[in-house]
Every structure is written in structure tokens, then in C-alpha cells.
Amino acid sequence: MFKVAVIGGSGLLGRAIVQELNAQSGWAVSATAFRRAWPGLTALDIRDSKSVDRFIDDTRPDAIVIAAAERRPDICEHEPLVARALNVDAVRAIANAARRCGAWTLSISTDYVFDGSRPPYLPADPPHPINAYGTSKLEGERALMEASTSSCVLRLPLLYGPIVDWQESAVTSLVPAIAASASGLPDGKTAVMDAWATRYPTYTPDVAVLIRQLLERRLQGVPVCGVTHWSGDEPMTKYDIALSIASALGIQARISPQHHPTDATPRPRDCHLDSSTLDAMGLGQRTSFAVAIKKTLDAFPWQGSAGLDGG
């Protein structure tokens, strides 16, 4: 039995990883949660290094997947100490505890470690984050590697998948505005969506399959270390995403493109991650955005253009 600890098992990606591993035989999964603890998950504040040590000492995992983070760029920009506590200090504490018990560690990072000026980016390309979120995640990568060079960093782009509320992903967070535009906004204007920055939305169940495959390689004695990339392969702006969501919902939404950046927190224009290394190994799977977003929306209740449910 291969024992895996998923740190952040109640989050958007963590839930998909836990579900993927539990669907296979031969895995013993221990998962943690902070705000959404429920039966089968251990409550753990990863900012508390003593609690981290105790959890890892108790579970003695063979491998650890760190899926917990502060991933909201605006929060990171305005509360850098919060970002550092979760994205750097907690990663270091987990990595040090993992090293002491001999566990291999995989930590999730982001495409925002790049400035978006020269895509696509290979794992060896020099990082150059332009906001506090990207900076904190890059420092977390370095903290992990300082603790153990046999660990692995998996950089991912914009994620979406099965949700527990609309705001859990930047993709599904667009739904309320899209629905409101279909019913008519109070001032009669359409919903304005960013058409400047290109993103590569990536489906969390697909990422979970990849992580399970990486764990299997590690179990087989194949070295899995350093930095690697995985990404969806469909370039989309938020405007493109919004149009696809409206189509999946079957509503006539009024959406207009915005061709210049307006975010208070700087975001890269296009930091496409080159996934060719993992592609060449035959790892991973990609579900088309149209199919995956329909699955995501169909699984989460809503009440049509007059209002939303489930939030």
C-alpha cells in the first residue's frame, strides 16, 4: 500500500487528486483541510509548523502532494505576509518534515512565475514574476528544492473543475456576470470581459490523472524531480471563456471584449507553459474546454438568467 498525503485536500485541485487516488487500488490517502474539513479529512493549519510535523509523523506518508496555497493575486498583493506564510513558509515546513520521514514531495506552483513576455516557457527558462503571487510561489519552489533536490515542482496555469462555489476558480467566477447580462444589467450595459490576456484553462481532473501517474512513476523507482510544466492546450481570453460558458449554459448573454488590462494587480499577458517534456513521456490527458466546462456547470446547480443558486 503506497501512502500519500494530500495537503489541501478540500480545495479545487486537492479534491480532484483525492478522488483520483481513491478511485484506484493500492493507495492509502490521507488528506488535510483548513476551512472545509469533513469526514475523511484532517484539519490542519499549515502555517503551524508543529502541527505539520505532528501530522506527517502520525501518517508517515511515502509521498506528499502540496495543493494548499494562497492563489488569489489580489490578496497576495495587498497581504504579502499572508501569501508568504502559506506559499513559502508552509511549503518549507512541509518539505523539512517530509525529508525527516523520507517522503517524496510534489508541490503545485504557477505559470505566474513568468512575466508573460516571451511564451511558451520551458521549465528551465528564467522566472521573472511581476506580482506578489508569482513571487511568493517562486520562493516556495526554492524552499522546496532547498529542503530536498529529489522533490518535484509542478507548474500549472489557470485551473477550473468541479466547484463548491462560483468563486473557487477564476473561470467559474465569471458565471454570475454572464447570467446577469442575459437577464439585463440594471444600467443596460453588457458584461465586459478581458480580451487582452491569454490563458490556458486546465481541468483539475486532468491534472489529478497526471499527478497520479507521476506518483506511480515514483513508486516504480523512476526519479521524478526538479521543475516540470503541465497545461491545457487551448489559448483563451476571459472573453473567449465567457462566450463558451454562455453557450454551455444555453443563454443569450450580452458580453463585450475589453482589449486593454484594467486589473489593479499586474498580471502577465501570456505565460503559456511548455508541456512537451511530460507529453513526450506519454503522461497526462486533456479534456476539451467545451466538454469540461459543461461537466463543471452541469454538476453545480443554478437557476438560469434570473439568478444563481449554490453560491
CA distance 295 to 290: 9
Q: List, in order, residues 6 or more apart from 29 with CB less than 8 Å away.
A: 4, 5, 6, 9, 18, 21, 22
Angle at which helix 49-59 crosses helix 90-101, to 10 degrees, equals: 30
Longest CA–CA span in the chain (Å) reads 61
Residue reference for cell 513571487? 135
Contact 56, 64 (CB under 8 A): yes
Residue/partner pairs of 114-117 with CB below 8 Å, 24 or more apart: 114/268, 114/271, 115/268, 115/271, 116/197, 116/267, 116/268, 116/269, 116/270, 116/271, 117/268, 117/269
CA pseudo-torsion sign 13, 150, 271, 276: negative
Query: Active site residue: 112, 121, 133, 203, which one?
Result: 133
Closest CA to 96 of 133, 138, 64: 64
Residue 133 appears among annotated catalytic residues: yes
Helix (H, G, I), strand (E, B) or coil at 4: strand
Q: What's the CA dihedral at 133, 279, 143, 95 to 10 degrees? A: 120
What one-character-per-residue DSSP string does 136-157 give? HHHHHHHHHHHH-TT-EEEEE-
Closest CA to 289 of 237, 227, 222, 250: 237
Q: Which residues are catalytic?
A: 133
